[in-house]
């Protein structure tokens, strides 16, 4: 089954075959083949680490342009909460949101409000549960759990993301109150994150997403800044409270829910270390875990513009100075099927060597044998991230021992010296 | 059928808490590549991890061997001294001879051995005071 779609892509013309992304990829999903990086689709979790690290900007994220708005009769912008962190705090954020009406959108829905609804609901779920709950807010982490930590799937909180909740609320409302049909309404996420883009096309835990497209913050940022100087706000669009703003940064969900017994971790390597600990049962007394692939949380997403630490500071500042501490939300208005996943997610055993255990064991023995011959310096010159990964590729028939130039030089030298 | 198909050996240094967990983590990745059931992998990971911690806390160092058979995994843990005086007592939940220093670091709650036993299908322990302790754990797959 080749049922994979990823927003993270490679522009071969820019790639010079260096090993930055190779080394950085948390699921070892990259190989350099014929001098160009290649992504192994089934392993990619769209975390965007390769995008951040590529010095040649050869990695990108597939996203829509504003032209996509023309396909719909009525369009709505859903700006990611991290967008609020992209501006210095003297910006009037309501005015900033109003610029979207001049970019071609008919309306804007504030995701911060949806985040708050979700936060209140999530808090209830955590209080009702006697085991650790793991946030599903960062889709890259959810996919990482599917691949590398399948025993933790049961701990996943199985809630939709604020963007999805926002899209559902806004579409349902429009269909009920206007003549617009489902297909005529175009909901666009203004995104900081390739993993979220993937979640729109290939959602986790959902039959289908209510979001129709995604436009990166990078693409609209300069237009927003320009329009900001020119427009007068027409509508009250900003609804986010102190609580909602915080979803843009690591620890923000727990802050928003007002819970104390939580653990918040940012940066995919650190998240993996903590997930290892969770698998060993060492965090059994903790109520909630929120993990983010990006350092600082969503404000660290690769499609943002502002430095992530400055953006995080902005978010903190916004939350502190916001006069609206929280919105008055009646959870009864938001039924379970609006907030929860409608499908279970399954482990993805993409690391499996063979379907047959006996064959997998034979391969493993071969891998060990090949690995012992390799220099174990993980230089990446062969195109695989580690010597171990090369050994696996060789046994799987995707590489040969000649790929290891270190070994080849060594053998030639030995031969010359008559050893 | 009695010959193991694969064997992994890990040395564990005395008081090396920082690196305890390495064996468990490597074994976990290997077993995942073999396509083993994730619940069984988790049991093996916990048993191996607890063993690593125990060797680091209580002994003068030792090793862990993981043997993969076609129908089971065997984990052998052997350390050098000081040995366990009363094995029945050591197996009781909450009993520990760990020092205050070790407890301050969050270890030594007296759950290691009971946890290991809980994770496996066969469990045996033998010890000679001042010489060694050896655990043998078997998990059917």
- Of residues B16 and A155, more confidently modeled: A155
Residue A418 is predicted with a pLDDT of: 78
ipTM over 0.95? The verdict is: no
Residue of A276, A352, A368 with shortest CB distance to B25:
A276
pLDDT in tens, A143-193: 999 999 999 999 999 999 999 999 999 999 999 999 999 999 999 999 999
Residue of B36, B39, B46 with shortest CB distance to A280:
B46
Residue A165 is predicted with a pLDDT of: 97
Residue A140 is predicted with a pLDDT of: 96
Q: Lowest mean pLDDT of A54-58, A375-379, B1-5, B51-55, name the range.
A: B1-5
Residue B105 is predicted with a pLDDT of: 67
Q: Lowest mean pLDDT of A21-35, A195-209, B43-57, B87-101, name the range.
A: B87-101
- Residue A368 vs residues A79, A373, A416, B7, B8: alpha-carbon distances, Å: 49, 9, 28, 11, 10
A400 touches chain B (CB under 8 A): no
Residue of B nearest to A368 (CA): B6
Residue A2 is predicted with a pLDDT of: 42
- Is A150's CB within 8 Å of B38's CB? yes
Residue of A279, A352, A355 with shortest CB distance to B33:
A352
pLDDT exceeds 50 at position B7: yes
Top residue of A357, A371, A372 to mutate, by most chain B CBs within 10 Å, is: A357
* pLDDT range class, residue B2, cuts 50, 70, 90: low
Structure pTM?
A: 0.91
Kindly state the average pLDDT of the residues B117-134: 92
Residue B84 is predicted with a pLDDT of: 86
Alpha carbon A398 to chain centroid distance?
29
- Is A357's CB within 8 Å of B24's CB? no
Residue of A148, A355, A358 with shortest CB distance to B70:
A358
Q: Can you name the residues that pair with B65 across neighbouring β-strands?
A: B9, B76
Residue A36 is predicted with a pLDDT of: 93
- Is B49's CB within 8 Å of A347's CB? no
Residue B59 is predicted with a pLDDT of: 87
Positions in chain A short of pLDDT 70: 1-3, 419
Task: Give the closest-approach CA distance of B83 to chain A in angstroms.
Answer: 26
């Amino acid at each position: 089954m080749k049922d994979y779609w990823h927003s993270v892509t490679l522009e071969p013309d820019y790639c010079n075959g260096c090993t930055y992304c190779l080394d950085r990829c948390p699921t070892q999903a990259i190989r350099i083949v014929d001098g160009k990086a290649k992504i192994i689709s089934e392993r990619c979790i769209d975390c965007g680490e390769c995008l951040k690290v590529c010095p040649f900007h050869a990695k990108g994220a597939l996203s829509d342009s504003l032209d996509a708005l023309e396909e719909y009769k009525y369009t709505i912008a859903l700006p990611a909460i991290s967008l609020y962190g992209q501006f210095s705090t003297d910006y009037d954020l309501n005015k900033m949101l109003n610029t979207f009406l001049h970019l071609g959108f008919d309306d804007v829905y504030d995701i911060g409000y949806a985040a708050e609804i979700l936060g209140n609901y999530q808090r209830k779920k955590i209080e009702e549960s006697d085991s650790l709950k793991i946030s599903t807010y960062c889709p890259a982490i959810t996919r990482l759990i599917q691949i590398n930590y399948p025993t933790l799937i049961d701990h996943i909180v199985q809630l939709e993301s604020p963007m999805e909740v926002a899209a559902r609320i806004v579409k349902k409302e429009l269909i009920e109150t206007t003549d617009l049909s489902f297909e005529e309404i175009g909901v666009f996420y203004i995104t900081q994150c390739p993993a979220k883009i993937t979640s729109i096309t290939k959602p986790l835990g959902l039959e289908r997403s209510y979001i129709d497209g995604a436009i990166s913050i990078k693409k609209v940022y300069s237009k927003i800044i320009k329009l900001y100087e020119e427009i007068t706000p027409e509508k009250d669009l900003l609804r986010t409270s102190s609580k909602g703003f915080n979803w843009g940064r690591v620890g923000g969900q727990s802050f928003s829910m007002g819970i104390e017994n939580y653990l918040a971790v940012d940066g995919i390597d650190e998240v993996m270390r903590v997930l290892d600990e969770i698998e060993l049962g060492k965090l059994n007394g903790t109520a909630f875990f929120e993990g983010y692939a990006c350092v600082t949380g969503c404000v660290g997403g690769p499609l943002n513009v502002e430095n992530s630490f400055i953006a995080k500071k902005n978010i903190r500042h916004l939350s502190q100075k916001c006069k609206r501490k929280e919105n008055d939300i009646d959870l009864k208005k938001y039924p379970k099927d609006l907030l929860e996943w409608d499908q279970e997610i399954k482990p993805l055993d993409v690391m499996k060597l063979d379907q047959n255990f006996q064959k997998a064991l034979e391969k493993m023995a071969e891998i060990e044998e090949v690995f012992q011959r390799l220099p174990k310096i993980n230089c990446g010159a062969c195109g695989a991230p580690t010597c171990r990964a090369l050994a696996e590729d060789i046994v799987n028939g995707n590489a040969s021992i000649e790929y290891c130039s270190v070994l080849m030089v060594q053998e030639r030298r030995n031969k010359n010296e008559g050893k | 059928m009695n010959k193991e198909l694969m064997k992994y050996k890990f040395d564990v240094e005395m008081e090396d808490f920082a690196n305890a967990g390495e064996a468990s983590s490597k074994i976990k990745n290997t077993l995942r590549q073999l396509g083993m059931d994730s619940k069984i992998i988790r049991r093996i990971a916990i048993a191996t991890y607890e063993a690593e911690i125990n060797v680091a806390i209580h002994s003068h160092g030792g090793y862990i061997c993981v043997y993969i058979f076609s129908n089971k995994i065997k984990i052998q843990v052997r350390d050098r001294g000081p040995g366990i005086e009363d094995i029945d007592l050591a197996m009781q939940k909450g009993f520990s001879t760990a020092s205050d220093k070790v407890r301050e670091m969050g270890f030594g709650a007296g759950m290691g051995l009971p946890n290991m036993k809980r994770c496996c299908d066969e469990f045996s322990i033998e010890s000679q005071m001042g010489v060694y302790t050896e655990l043998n754990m078997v998990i059917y797959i």
